[in-house]
Amino acid sequence: MRIDVVTIFPEYLAPLELSLLGKAQRDGILQIRVHDLREVTTDRHRTVDDTPYGGGAGMVMKPEPWAAALARVCADGPTGQRPVLIIPGPGGERFTQQLARELAQEPWLAFACGRYEGIDERVYAHAADHLRVRTISLGDYVLNGGEVAVLAMVEAMGRLLPGVVGNAESLVEESHEDGLLEYPVYTKPASWTRDGVTREVPPVLLSGDHGAIARWRHAQRLERTAARRPDLLAPAAAVGALADLDAALATPADLPELVVLTRACWVPEAAASGTFDFPPFTDGVPELTASLSEWTTYVWRAAGRLVASIRVRRDPEDDRVWQLGRFMVAPDLQGRGIGQEILTFAESLAPRDVSTIWINTGRVSERNIRIYRKAGFRLAPWDSQVHPATVDLIKSPRSRADKG
Ligand SMILES: C[S@@+](CC[C@H](N)C(=O)[O-])C[C@H]1O[C@@H](n2cnc3c(N)ncnc32)[C@H](O)[C@@H]1O
């Protein structure tokens, strides 16, 4: 991947030579070129800014040096190729792990670091005539210049490039990879004393029981996310039917209501198949308690009443598959678009490296199959392993563009 950075403080970008990104450059995975904006100025004072039209505090970066600098960057690339231009700014779209993944796919990025009150607005329009331009914000606060934002963005993207982080597995369970924060991590010693206080590593981590460790870590991810970042649970697209509902991660306290909702939602399937002898009816609180540590279960409430739920996870037997399960909307609220939005939300949580989204339903559940087909699923060409009376439906993850 090639990265060009235009700035009036080239030395600000020196840390990109260090650590993993420095090594990635030496290994030829990343090529970073830093350009001094003042090099393209033509006056004696190498002026890049002037007073704002309309008055007001501060200075504004002049358009001509930026146009010249960007032309110079583009002229220096492979014939026919153009970079995606990123202009950092507090008014841009928010930089996220998802955006880092998306941008890490680009072969060539150029960054324009503003200073002062920012860059003359006409530069954005001029650049958009020649390049794809994105204005991206590091967060809802104001920095003095774009350089710190570039350091953060390049580091977040760079570590996703194949070969940059030695153990690619360490990228998989990190915070923000599937909508949850990471579990707490510990190293030696198992028992650590400081200021007269001894703190132990949670015993489960010393047990050698990999299943128990995985369940504990998952429970920790859920607990942390709910406590520290409840906003991550609110679907980004909650502007329609979901906007009126309260989203939360399911906890044991939700289980009695979840059992009732499950029974209510599976009655049509029981009626169609002529039996109540299948897990949505036979599962009780113990089975659902266990499922809370094996799946990430979301619930939605309307005026306090639990009205919808879905659970998601990586398939324990094939981590390229993102499983959705126990997808339900209270019968009296069906047909209002809630289900479609929940499906979209659950799919949006799929880690970037999964290749298939999977869901299972009763062979006789024509309505469900219709809903899933509408959401882009197709019947899998194999017999379901879940139960002979069910079918598997699969689809490819949506591209970011589809998610809107
Ligand atoms: C002092 S800021 C200009 C802020 C601008 N007057 C405004 O209120 O939106 C100068 C430069 O810092 C960078 N910058 C400031 N805050 C940023 C943020 N949250 N994310 C990315 N870049 C930022 C941008 O390059 C911006 O042009």
Q: What does the pLDDT look like over 355-372, one tens digit per residue? A: 999 999 999 999 999 999
Q: Which of 205, 230, 255 is the last residue of a domain?
A: 230
Which has the closest alpha carbon to 242: 173, 333, 165? 333
Based on the fold, state whether residues 294 and 310 are members of the same structural domain: yes
Query: Are 8 and 68 within one domain?
Result: yes
Structure confidence at residue 172 (pLDDT): 67
How far apart are alpha carbons 395 and 343 in whole angstroms? 12
Q: Does 115 sit in the ligand 1 pocket, CB within 6 Å?
A: yes
Query: From the alpha carbon of 61, which atom of ligand 1 is closest?
Result: 27
The answer to whether residues 249 and 297 touch, using CB atoms and an 8 Å cutoff, is yes
Domain count, the chain: 3
Q: Given this model, what pLDDT does residue 401 score?
A: 39
**Whether residue 91 has its Cβ less than 6 Å from ligand 1:** yes
User: What H or E segment, with its residue span, contains residue 358?
Assistant: strand 356-362
Least confident of 99-103, 376-380, 382-386, 396-400: 396-400
Residue 59 exposure: Cα atoms within 13 Å on the Cβ side: 12
Instruction: Please say if the pLDDT value at position 170 is more than 80.
Output: no
**Distance of CA 377 from the midpoint of ligand 1 (Å):** 43
Both 311 and 350 in one domain: the answer is: yes
pLDDT for residue 177:
73
Q: Is residue 397 part of a domain?
A: yes
**Which of the pair, 95 or 178, is modelled with greater confidence?**
95
Task: Tell me if 397 CB under 6 Å of ligand 1.
Answer: no
CA–CA separation, 116 and 65 (whole Å): 15
What pLDDT is stored for residue 237 in this prediction?
A: 46
8 Å CB contact between 225 and 181: yes
Distance 231 CA to ligand 1 centre (A): 24
Nearest Cα neighbor of 322 from 295, 299, 283, 362 is 295
CATH of the domain at 115: 3.40.1280.10
Say whether the peptide bond before residue 63 is cis (omega within 30 degrees of 0).
no
Average pLDDT across the chain, whole number:
92
What single-letter DSSP state applies at residue 272? H
Q: Is residue 147 part of a domain?
A: yes
Nearest CA to ligand 1 atom 5: 117
Look at 130-144, 181-195, 212-226 and tell me which has the smallest mean pLDDT: 212-226
For residues 52 and 166, membership in a common domain is answered with yes
| Per-residue model confidence as pLDDT tens digits over 245-272 | 998 899 999 999 999 999 999 999 899 8
CATH number assigned to the domain comprising residue 304 = 3.40.630.30
Q: Is 60 in the pocket of ligand 1 (CB under 6 A)?
A: no
More confident site: 337 or 48: 48
**Are 201 and 347 in a shared domain?**
no
Please give the Cα distance from 235 to 345 (Å, whole number).
6
88 Cβ inside 6 Å of ligand 1 = yes
Q: Answer yes or no: do 150 and 259 share one domain.
A: no
Helix (H) or strand (E) holding 399: none
Claim to verify: residue 209 and residue 265 sit in the same structural domain: no
Please tell me if the CB atom of residue 139 comes closer than 6 angstroms to any atom of ligand 1.
yes
- 225 and 246, same domain (yes or no): no
Residue 205: which pLDDT band, with cuts at 50, 70 and 90?
very high
pLDDT at 399 exceeding the cut of 60: no
Residue 181 resides in a domain: no
Report which of residues 16 and 349 the model is more confident about: 16
Residue range(s) defining the domain that contains residue 205: 191-230
185 falls within a domain: no
Cβ of residue 145 lying under 6 Å from some atom of ligand 1: yes
The structure's pTM equals 0.77
Please give the Cα distance from 150 to 131 (Å, whole number).
Answer: 19
Are residues 365 and 243 located together in one domain of the fold?
yes
Residues 269 and 226 placed together within one structural domain of the fold: no
Q: Is the pLDDT of residue 119 over 60?
A: yes
Q: To test ligand 1's pocket by mutation, which of 5, 116, 119, 143 has the most ligand atoms within 8 angstroms of CB?
A: 143
Together in a domain, 195 and 160:
no
Closest residue by Cα to atom 18, ligand 1, is 90
Residue 312 has pLDDT above 90, yes or no: yes
Q: Is residue 177 part of a domain?
A: no
The helix (run of H) or strand (run of E) holding residue 148 is helix 147-158
